[in-house]
Chains A and B, each alone.
Chain A
Amino acid sequence: MIEVVSQSRCVSCNQCVSVCPTNVFDKGEDGIPVIARQDDCQTCFMCELYCPVDALYVSPDSEGVMGVTEEELEQQGLLGGYREKVGWGRGRVPVAKHDYMYQLSVRSGF
C-alpha cells in the first residue's frame, strides 16, 4: 500500500492525485498531496511510476501497512527504484524496448 509521500521531494504537481485509479489521494492545503483513503489502495504502483521526483513509496504488502519511514527508504535507496527499472524519466530508455524482452519472448513464449 502507499505509505510515504516525501515532503522534502514533493513538488506539489498533484500528478498522483490525478493518476491514482482508486482515488486514494487528496490535494493537501499546503499543496502536498495527502494519503486520504489508504484502505482503497490496490498496490498497483502507478502513482510511484508517474511521480516525476520519486517522492512516493508503495510498500509491497497489499493487505496491510508496514510502517516504513522516509529515512529508512532513503538509506536503502528504495525511492524511485521502480520508475528507474521501467525506464521512465529524463535520459532513460523505456524497458519496453529492452533487448531482453525479445530474448525472453523467443525463449519462453511469454
Chain B
Amino acid sequence: MAIQATARGQLSLETDVLVIGGGPAGTWAAISAAAKGAKVILVDKGYCGSSGATAPSGTGVWYIDPEREKREEAKASRYAMGGQLAEHEWMNRVLDRTYENMNKLGNLGYPFPVDPSGKPHKRGLQGPEYMKLMRKLVQKSGVKILDHSPVLELLADDYGVGGAAGVNTQTGDAWSIRAGAVVIATGGCAFLSRALGCNVLTGDGYLFAAEAGADLSGMEFSNAYAICPTFSSVTKTAYYSYASFYYEDGTVVEGAGSKRGRSVIARNLLAGRQVYAKLDQAPEDLKPLLRVAQTNFFLPFDRRGIDPFRDLFPVTLRLEGTVRGTGGIRIVDETCATKVPGLYAAGDAATRELICGGFTGGGSHNSAWAMSSGSFAGEGAAEYVLKLGDSAKSRSLRGLSSQSLTSASADGGASQSRTQEYVQAVQDEVKPYDRNLFRTEQGLSDSIGRLDGLWKAQRENAVSVSAEGVKAREAAAMTATARWMYHSALARKETRGMHKREDFPTIDGGQRHRLISGGLDEVWVSTERVADDAASQERQPVKESVTA
C-alpha cells in the first residue's frame, strides 16, 4: 500500500489543525480554528484567493434578517424543492452563523454596496474581492498558507486522522504535515468540465475521506448542469431567467427555461438540435444593472462582439456535478466532524442536504453553507486538538492512499496519457444527459459496470509523487465519486430534488430518507432517517439576539 509518508517528505511540518482547500469554507475554517488558539496550516492545490468556484464569480448569500417571519419564509423557500430532506435545526444554525459572518466581513473591510439609507446591503459577494480579503484575513490570523500544494493522501493511525502528505506542483518537492485534526474543504466535483473555476474541483476530498473510512451522503444529488454558451466557461444560470430559447431558424423552443425548462433544452441537445438563447426578456432599464452585477457573464460576449440581449448565441448544459449538487462527505455532529476521529468536512466537500435537501441552484445556500460549516469545522477541529494535548506528537502515522505512491516517475508520458484516458472514460459516463440528468436503472447499471472496471484498473497503478501523480489521483477521485453517485442514484427509486429517474418519475413518500454511501473496492449504500420531521414539528422560535 502507501509508503510511509514520513520517509519521503522533503518538507516536514507540524501543526494543530490542517485545512485542505483555500476557498470560502477552507479560509473560514482556518481563521475560526486560529481564533480558538490553534496553530493552523492551510494547503491549497492552486492558490488560496483564486482557486475554486467562488473566486471568479459573483454569488448570492443566504443572508436573512433574524426576524422570525423572514427566517421562516427563507427556510420554506427551497424546502419542498429539496424533497423535504433539510433539517430546521441546521437551517437555523446556518442562518445565524451566516448573518454573523457576513456582518464580520463588513466590519473587516468587504466593500458592500449601500441601500438608500446608507446601510450596507449584504445579500451577495463578489468572488475576487471576497477571496482576496479572505486570504488577507487568513494571513493576519497567523495561519501558514502553502499554495500549489495538493494533497496526495491523508495520514492516520489507529486513533484517527493525523495529517496529510502531498507535493508542491511548482517545485516538485514532496511535503508532509502532522496535525492533530484535518479539515477537508476541497470543494465538490465537476469532473473537469471547464465550468467556471471548477477544474480544481475533482472530488479529491471525497476520496481522501473514504480512504480514511468516512462515508458520504446524498451522492445521488450530483447532476447539476448549468446553462452556458457553447464557447464559454461562464456558467451563470440565474441570468437565463431573462432568456428566451430558440432553434436556429428563430422559432421558439417550447417549454425551455432556466429553471424547470432545463430538461427541455437537454432533450433537444440529445436529439441533436442545437438550442440558442437570447436575453430578450430583460427590461431595458435592467440591462445596465445586469451588466455591472455579473461582470464576467458579459466578458465572453463582449470579446466576441455578441450582444446577448439582441443576438442569438448557442447554449449547452455544462456539468457542475456536486458543486451545485448537494451530496458530499457525511457529517455526524454540529462541529462538522465526520465519523472518523480527527477528520472534519466543510463547504461543498460536505453534504449540504442538511440545509437544502436534494436541490440547490448553488449560489446563496452554498455560500452560506461554506462560511458557516467552515467556521463550525474550524472551531470543532481546534477544540478536538486542544483536548488531544501533546499525545499528537508521538503518533506513528501511515499513508492512507488506496493507490500505491512512489517517489519517482520513470515511464515518461505513458502514465500521463493513461490518466487522460481515465478522465475521458469517467466523463463519458457522467456528462451525457441521458445517463446522469435523465437516469434509468439500465443506464446506471451499465455505467456502474464500466466504472467498477475503471476503478480496478486505476487501483493497480502506482502513482508518482509529482504534478503528474496529482492528476492521476484526481482521475481516481472522479471515478470513485461517479461510483458513489450512480450507486446512490440506483438505490433511490423515485424522483426527488434534482435526482430524476425516468423509470420512477414521481416522488415517493416512503423514500423520504437520506442515502449514505461509501466503500472503495466495494461500494455500499444504506439509508438514514431525516432527524427532524418539519411537517409535524412545531415551529421553532428563531433567536432574536444575534449580534450585528
Q: A86 touching B289 by the CB < 8 A rule?
A: no
Residues of B within 8 A of A18 (CB): 47, 147
Q: Is A42 an interface residue (CB 8 A)?
A: yes
Residues of chain B within 8 A (CB-CB) of A63 are 194, 231
Given A94-B129, A97-B113, A42-B290 contact (CB < 8 Å): no
Chain B proximity of A83: nearest CB distance (Å): 10
Residue on A nearest B45 in the bound complex, by CB = A21
Q: Does B46 contact A (CB under 8 A)?
A: yes
Which A residues are CB-close (under 8 A) to B300?
A: 60-61
When each residue 68-92 of chain A gets 1 if its CB lies under 8 Å from chain B and 0 otherwise, what string results?
0000000000100110011010000
CB atoms of A60 and B231 under 8 A apart: yes
Q: Tell whether B19 is near chain A: CB-to-CB under 8 Å.
A: no
Determine if A102 and B46 form an interchain contact, defined as CB atoms under 8 angstroms apart.
no
Partner of A96, one of B111, B199, B241, B288: B111
In A18-59, which residues have CB < 8 Å from any B CB? 18-23, 40, 42-46, 49-50, 59
Closest Cβ–Cβ distance, residue B530 to chain A (whole Å): 28
Query: In the complex, which residue of chain B has the Cβ closest to the Cβ of A46?
Result: B50
Q: Which of B47, B128, B129, B194 has the most CB atoms of chain A within a 10 A radius of its CB?
A: B128
Q: With A45-B296, A45-B299 as known contacts, state yes or no: A50 contacts B286, CB within 8 Å.
A: no
Q: Does B123 contact A (CB under 8 A)?
A: yes
What's the nearest-Cβ distance from chain B to residue A93, in Å?
Answer: 8
CB of B46 within 8 A of CB of A22, answer yes
Shortest beta-carbon distance from B357 to chain A in Å: 20
Scoring A62, A63, A88 by chain B CB atoms within 10 A of each residue's CB, the highest score goes to A62
Q: Does B233 count as interface, using CB distance less than 8 angstroms?
A: yes
How far in angstroms is the closest Cβ of chain B from A98? 5
- Interchain nearest-CB distance for B73 vs A (Å): 12
B197→A21 contact, CB < 8 A: yes
A108 is an interface residue with CB less than 8 A from chain B: yes
Q: A42-B198, A44-B55 are in contact. Are A107 and B289 (CB under 8 A)?
A: yes
* B46 adjacent to A20 (CB under 8 Å): yes
- Residues of B within 8 Å of A98, CB to CB, are 113, 292-293
The answer to whether B293 and A44 have CB atoms under 8 Å apart is no
Whether A110 contacts B56 by the Cβ 8 Å rule is no
Structural contact, A62 and B233, CB atoms closer than 8 A: yes
Chain B, residue nearest A78 (CB): B303
What are the residues of chain B within 8 A of A107 when measuring CB–CB? Answer: 286, 289
A20 with B197: in contact, given A96-B113, A97-B113 (CB under 8 Å)? no
Among B50, B113, B114, B123, point to the contact of A50 (Cβ < 8 A).
B50
| Chain B positions 141-175 with a Cβ under 8 Å from a chain A Cβ | 147-148, 169-170
Contact A21 to B47, CB < 8 A, known contacts A62-B194, A102-B121, A105-B124: yes
A43 to B229, CA, bound (A): 13
- Give complex CA distance A44, B128 in Å: 11
List, in ascending order, chain A residues with CB within 8 A of B169's CB: 23
Asked whether, in the complex, the Cβ of B112 is within 8 Å of the Cβ of A43, the reply is no
Task: Write out the residue numbers on chain A whose beta carbons fall within 8 Å of the beta carbon of B125.
Answer: 96
| In the complex, residue of chain A having the shortest beta-carbon distance to the beta carbon of B420 | A39
**A85 to B286 Cα, complex, angstroms:** 18
Interface residues in B, total, Cβ within 8 A = 53
Give which listed residue, A17, A44, A100, contacts B289 with CB less than 8 A.
A100
CA distance A22 to B114 in the complex (A): 35
**A82 & B295 in contact (Cβ 8 Å cutoff):** yes
With A62-B194, A102-B114 already in contact, the answer to whether A46 and B124 are too (CB < 8 A) is no
Give the chain B neighbours of A42 by CB distance below 8 A.
194, 196-200, 233
A46 touches B56 (CB 8 A): yes
Say yes or no: is A13 at the interface (Cβ < 8 Å to chain B): no
Residues of B within 8 A of A19 (CB): 47, 49-50
| Interface residues in B169-198 (C-beta closer than 8 Å to A) | 169-170, 194, 196-198
Closest to A48 in B: B299
Counting chain B CB atoms within 10 Å of each CB, which of A17, A101, A108 scores highest? A101
Chain B residues with CB under 8 A of A59: 303
Within B127-149, the residues touching A (CB, 8 Å) are 128-129, 147-148
Residue A103 at the chain B interface, CB threshold 8 Å: yes
Let me know if B326 is at the binding interface, CB within 8 A.
Answer: no
Chain A contacts of B49 at CB under 8 A? 19
Q: Which residues of B contact A20 (CB under 8 A)?
A: 46-47, 50
A85 and B194 in contact, given A22-B200, A78-B303, A100-B289 (Cβ under 8 angstroms): no
Q: Residues of B contacting A22 with CB < 8 Å?
A: 46, 199-200
| Given A22-B200, A96-B111, also A43-B194 (CB < 8 A) | yes
Sample (13) of A-B pairs whose CB atoms are under 8 Å apart: A21-B197, A21-B200, A45-B56, A49-B128, A60-B300, A60-B303, A61-B300, A96-B110, A101-B292, A104-B289, A105-B121, A105-B293, A110-B293
Interface residues of A, Cβ cutoff 8 Å to B:
17-23, 40, 42-46, 49-50, 59-63, 78, 81-82, 85-86, 88, 94-105, 107-108, 110
Smallest CB-CB A-B distances: 4 pairs: A21-B46, A60-B300, A62-B233, A42-B199
Q: A42-B200, A96-B111, A96-B112 are in contact. List 15 more A-B contacts (CB 8 A).
A: A21-B51, A23-B467, A40-B199, A44-B56, A46-B50, A60-B301, A62-B232, A63-B194, A63-B231, A82-B296, A96-B126, A96-B129, A101-B121, A108-B241, A108-B286
B residues touching A (Cβ–Cβ < 8 Å)? 45-47, 49-52, 55-56, 60, 110-115, 121, 123-126, 128-129, 147-148, 169-170, 194, 196-200, 231-233, 238, 241, 286, 288-290, 292-293, 295-296, 299-304, 467
